Amino acid sequence: MTNINLNTQISELKGVGKTLSKKLNALGLKTVYDLIFYFPFRYDDFSRQVKIDHVKENENVSLVGTIELIQNKKSWRQKKYITEALVSDDSGTIKVVWFNQAFLTKTLQTGDTISLAGKVKYSYGQLTLVSPQYEKISQGKINTFGLVPIYSLSSNLTQKQMRFFVSQVIDLAKKIPEWLPKDLLKNLNLMPLSQAILQIHFPGSKKSVELARQRLEFGELFLRQIKSLIAKNNLKKQAALTIDFNEKLTKEFVDNLAFTLTNDQKKAAWEIISDLKKGQTMSRLLEGDVGSGKTIVAAIAILNVVKNDYKCALMAPTEILARQHFHTLKELFKNYSLKISLLLSKALEANFPLEKSRKKQKEKIYSESDIIIGTHSLLFQKHPEKLALAIIDEQHRFGVAQRQYLSQNKQEKTAPHFLSLTATPIPRSLALAFYGDLDLSIIKEQPKGRKKIITEIISEEKRDQAYNFIKEKLDLKQQAFVVCPLIENSQKLEVKSAKEELKRLKEQVFPEYNLGLLHGRLKSQEKEKVMKDFLDKKIDILVSTSVVEVGIDIKNASIMMIEGAERFGLAQLHQFRGRVGRGDTQSYCFLFTSQEIKSEKTFKRLSALSQYHDGLSLAKIDLDLRGSGDIYGKLQSGFSELRLASLFDYELIKKTREEAEKIINKDPELKNNPTIKEKLGTWERNIHLE
């Protein structure tokens, strides 16, 4: 095909077609440019090409030979086709076997010279190449020799197809302009961009893969650093309302709490109060593991802002969490006459009288509320007047765009202070890379009296034993969560659904207890009723989907049962576990699997949950076992665009920060670095930051 360029639609490539085009689109691959930047995550090493008489059992080998015989036969036991071939070179002959690929006898013919790559096994009484990659020599060797790329693919897409598509367009990598300054490339000994792209797909050696990754990883993190430094510089230019610290009021509030603040909570609260006193806009990230007490720290800041006669807004990712914050703050501030309101898509509520019409209700909420709580979809249709502090809970659920929007208060000459909360474990090195425009406060300590949650993997034979244990706890008036991967049954996935599990548990296991159901398709009022009934102990067991992952706080719940636990990432499992253990009762987390655990990786992942109780340790393990995308997913603009760079590579993060600072300090508006400015703009548009 002629006239292929970087903007060519992937559907126009040879061999793609309509069906494959849809599957590639589902991976985010729409253009040739997308395909070129879809990097392999590992390689099969077939660099050792050997003669047939030198092959050894259990070795990965690459060899070239001539087909002496090829035929199909049907296995009478399993009723599937087996393709058998004899391939020879000048040193000997080896048997080759493929399963369920009867078409091979039409593709490969006796007399063809082919390249084969795969693992040698002792089978059928002789050394055999079982299901190897194959290529006719006339077609080149991208599948059977050297370091062969392996890509993350969906079902019905093969590695061979992907390599063929990439091989058609890889020469266009030469047309991708280098955007890093020449002196920076030279000083850090970084590979040019076009060469790095070529080598990451079809490397000449392990060393070239390493050098290619260094260049591409550096570029990914460097852009992030440039972005955060520009944002930080812009924040410094913005004037902010000065919030005086009311020491007497704060001390009275803290002394009247039903618990004692931890040292980390006190330190974080003081860092925030100190920022609020300055004339510059605060932009701070408060990180604390599940159940560490971030909300009370935010409440101290809110109290000081409101008592300075200004307003606060709190944005939550779900209506359930927004409602919980509304009830929590009402309880915390019940002695302080604060006007608190809840603004949701189909519901408005306040602890002060509202008008009858929805329009007037909203107007009154914006004009009279001291604290407005809501979700991101509605909360900032306009900025409330005198808004001095904007808080986002669960930072990892929101992108930079929301942060920037919050700071653009056109009604005032000043921008509101910004506080972001997250339970996603972020090491300081990662915060430097991703939230360089935010200062960081960390709560490491758990509140005093909290007991570590006992976590166990429950095999099928121990299921009844676990149920009996749970009944004992329910009889003590404690409550339990049951989390399922799906709402309804799926023919494709053999995992339990919430609806089916509710029916089974109610009829067969816990008939004497009250069970409830919670999932994302319920209407807001239905969710609210279910959660209120659970909070009021009218429901003993709440069967739910992952909607309970974030923020739900039921102090009487002491049991978390997770069905199909192997289908969740460690970070998500840790969030589920954090829904219990919030009171002073010993709590338990039981990991049920939908089938026998056969994968060593899966077993390691689930076992890690029983060994470690802090999110940071679990995130590192998840990174090693599953990769960064599974820790943070696509929920956070900024995590998902990292294709190669490690979230825990402190040295590289530090180096990119240093180099970015050198450039921004000399050229804050990038007037002398137009290629970086252009690349930054393209990158921001692609990940929808603006």
Q: Provide the CATH number for the domain around residue 85.
A: 2.40.50.140
Q: Is the pLDDT at 353 greater than 50, yes or no?
A: yes
Segment among 82-96, 248-262, 388-402, 549-563 with least mean pLDDT: 388-402
Stretch among 96-100, 345-349, 572-576, 587-591 having the lowest mean pLDDT = 345-349
Residue 296 binned pLDDT confidence (cut-offs 50, 70, 90): very high
Q: Do 311 and 369 meet the contact criterion of CB atoms below 8 Å apart?
A: yes
Which of 566, 591, 612 lies at the terminal end of a domain, its last residue? 612
Which CATH number does the domain housing residue 593 bear? 3.40.50.300
Q: 321 lies in a domain?
A: yes
CA dihedral 339, 342, 343, 347 (to 10 degrees): -130
**Average pLDDT estimate for 660-676:** 92
pLDDT of res. 402: 56
Distance CA 287, CA 420 (A): 8
Instruction: Let me know whether 361 and 294 are in one domain.
Output: yes
User: In this predicted structure, what is the pLDDT of residue 431?
Assistant: 61
- Which of 204, 364, 389 minimizes the C-alpha distance to 284? 389
Task: Please report the pLDDT score of residue 566 as a whole number.
Answer: 85
Structural domain ending residue among the three candidates 150, 181, 201: 150
Asked whether residue 425 falls in the same domain as residue 531, the answer is no
Q: What percent of the chain has pLDDT over 90?
A: 32
CB distance 15 to 161 below 8 Å:
yes
Which one of 612, 646, 677 terminates a domain?
Answer: 612
Please give the pLDDT value at position 46.
72
- pLDDT beyond 80 at 109: yes
Output 329 or 487, whichever has higher pLDDT: 329
Question: Structural domain of residue 91, as residue ranges?
Answer: 42-150
The answer as to whether 351 is a domain residue is: yes
> Does 140 score more than 70 pLDDT?
no
Q: Cα separation of 491 and 229, whole Å? A: 49
**Residues 460 and 426 grouped into a single domain:** no
For the ranges 153-162, 362-371, 613-622, 632-641, which has the lowest average pLDDT? 632-641
Does a structural domain hold residue 205?
Answer: no
DSSP for 644-663, written as a single string: S--TT-HHHHHHHHHHHHHH
**pTM summary value:** 0.66
Residues 470, 418, single domain; the answer is no
Question: Stretch 642-662: mean pLDDT, rounded?
Answer: 78
Instruction: Using alpha carbons only, give the angle 242, 252, 270 rounded to the nearest 5 degrees.
Output: 45
301/425 same-domain check: yes
Quickly state the pLDDT bin for 429 (edges 50, 70, 90).
Answer: low
Closest to 436 measured CA to CA, from 672, 234, 181: 234
How much of the chain, in percent, has pLDDT values that exceed 70?
Answer: 84
* pLDDT exceeds cutoff 90 at 590: yes
pLDDT surpasses 70 at 198: yes
Number of separate domains in the chain:
3
Indicate whether 665 belongs to any domain.
Answer: no
Looking at residue 517, its pLDDT comes to 92
314 and 433 belong to one structural domain = yes
SS3 per residue for 453-484:
CEEEEECHHHHHHHHHHHHHHHHCCCEEEEEC
**Dihedral of alpha carbons 157, 159, 164, 169, sign:** positive
**Cα separation of 35 and 369, whole Å?**
50
Using CA atoms, how far apart are residues 473 and 547, in angstroms rounded to an integer?
A: 24
* Residue 508 covered by a domain: yes
Write the pLDDT tens digit of every residue in 46-78: 777 788 888 888 888 888 888 888 898 887 666
Residue 345, classed as helix, strand or coil, is coil
pLDDT band at 432; cut points 50, 70, 90? low
